[in-house]
Amino acid sequence: MLKTVFPTIDRESSALGFGCMRLPTLENGAINEELAISMIRKGIDRGVRYIDTAYPYHGGESERVVGKALQDGYREKVILATKLPCWQVKTHEDMMRILDEQLEKLQTDHVDFYLLHALGKDRYHQMKELGYQEFFDQALREGKIRYPSFSFHDDYPAFDEILHDYDWKMCQVQMNILDDENQACVKGIQEAGRLGIGVVIMEPLRGGLLAQPPADVREKYAAYPEKRTPVEWAFRYLYTMPEVITILSGMSDMAQVEDNLAIFDKASRDAVSDEEKQLYKDIKQTYLSRMKTKCTGCAYCQPCPKGITIPDIFRGYDQSLLREGGSFKAGYAKIVEKQADASRCIACRKCERACPQHLPIVTYLQEIRAACEA
């Protein structure tokens, strides 16, 4: 396992982090606890030193299962990160109340990285008005958290403002082959590194999109002299960045755990060559020329007041565009059967206000509906 160190706090981590947003589930949607615990412990046994969860993951159950997985001495082996659901904070007192609830679910007296979850410009200003700095100061004094942090979904100016507002020890940002100019951007990652703030990456595979590329992308990879899987290429793009400390992967089955461990066991910090940089540019352009929504499947738009499963619609449609001669009509018909299709949209735009990608969701829904019903 490629080992890394968070700057300024001198805390050893692993280049691969175990993201607990997409744990394996049973047919009823509940977490498959036995398998999830086995997967998490397998990762730790093989060198994973960073475990990431959050208050809302799996309907609030992810933290509870992670707490179980970290019993029997596993808690002491890892950096544990979880997040404050800022959208549920209405008063200053709510912050400590929620943190205490999380500590109980996680069965620990402290978390290492505690993040303000999914900050953008508006949410950041709301949290500042509610006194997030004073909350962090108190939580640090009481030993309930070790390192104040934040995760981010907005544009670069907002990221830069937040980055310089507090003595942060880590920031979690979305980055992958397709997002070098989106959200925090590569220049934001570099600024964080300059300030000594460790960078943790989310969505390295763009919601799984980069793991199963279309034929024209596969051909570009196959033509390159160095042979790597698409997943390894995607991770390599990130772990060669000196500012990146840990890359989160939301693993859903044991095969993914094994595959990721194999990749990071042989990973190194060597620089990306000029030829590889050009390959990444070609891959990005090929993807962007095909996709429509560019949805990452984060599900912040859920639940929809009318029950529309927006991530399923967008993911299914984009994936159909990435297949030669692909069609989403059959998949969309199944969503219609579940009464979760775009015909139910009332254009309330609650989803658009919640979307960290700022996608024109209502417009996309109607366009996809028209294409699938034609």
Torsion of the alpha carbons at 40, 242, 214 and 219, rounded to the nearest 10: -120
Average model confidence (pLDDT) across the chain: 95
Six-digit token pair at 251? Answer: 């693993």
Backbone φ and ψ of 132, nearest 5°: -65, -35
What percent of the chain has a predicted confidence (pLDDT) above 90? 89
pLDDT score recorded for residue 325: 74
What lies within 8 Å, CB to CB, of 28 at 6+ separation is none
Closest by alpha carbon to 297, among 210, 172, 188?
210
pLDDT score recorded for residue 333: 96
| Mean pLDDT along residues 175-190 | 94
For residue 149, give the 3-state DSSP assignment: strand
| Mean pLDDT along residues 338-366 | 95
Does residue 98 register a pLDDT over 70? yes
Question: Nearest 5 degrees, angle CA 34-CA 40-CA 44?
Answer: 140
Q: How far apart are CA 238 and CA 180, in angstroms?
A: 10
Q: How far apart are CA 209 and CA 366, in angstroms?
A: 23
Cα 143 vs. chain centroid, distance in angstroms? 27
248 has which bridge partners? 17
Strands 11-14 and 3-6: antiparallel
The model's confidence at residue 291, banded by pLDDT at 50, 70 and 90, is confident
Which of 10-19, 86-95, 309-318 shows the lowest per-residue confidence on average (mean pLDDT)? 309-318
Cα 198 vs. chain centroid, distance in angstroms? 16
For residue 303, give the 3-state DSSP assignment: coil
Reported as a single tens digit per residue, the pLDDT across 322-345 is: 776 779 999 999 999 999 999 999
Q: How far apart are CA 23 and CA 40, in angstroms?
A: 9
Strands 79-84 and 11-14: unpaired
Q: How far apart are CA 265 and CA 273, in angstroms?
A: 21
Residue 201 near residue 247 (C-beta atoms within 8 A): yes
| Mean pLDDT along residues 358-366 | 96
| Helical residues (DSSP H) of the chain, grouped into ranges | 33-45, 62-69, 92-106, 121-129, 132-141, 156-163, 185-194, 215-223, 230-239, 254-265, 274-290, 310-321, 329-337, 350-354, 361-373
Cα 343 vs. chain centroid, distance in angstroms? 29
Reported as a single tens digit per residue, the pLDDT across 200-228 is: 999 999 888 899 888 899 999 999 999 99
Tell me the residue length of the chain: 374
pTM for the whole thing?
A: 0.85
Cα 187 vs. chain centroid, distance in angstroms? 19
| Mean pLDDT along residues 48-59 | 97
pLDDT score recorded for residue 322: 77
Backbone φ and ψ of 172, nearest 5°: -110, 120
Residue 249 near residue 17 (C-beta atoms within 8 A): yes
Reported as a single tens digit per residue, the pLDDT across 122-178 is: 999 999 999 999 999 999 999 999 999 999 998 899 999 999 999 999 999 999 999
pLDDT score recorded for residue 324: 64
Question: What is the torsional sign of CA 184, 189, 193, 194?
Answer: negative
Six-digit token pair at 357? Answer: 């990608």
pLDDT score recorded for residue 250: 95
Match 């095969």 to its residue by tokens. 255
Domains of the chain: 3-288 (3.20.20.100), 310-373 (no CATH)
Which of 178-182, 227-231, 258-262 shows the lowest per-residue confidence on average (mean pLDDT)? 178-182
Closest by alpha carbon to 80, among 217, 162, 200?
200
Closest by alpha carbon to 292, among 357, 217, 373?
357
Question: Nearest 5 degrees, angle CA 31-CA 36-CA 40?
Answer: 145
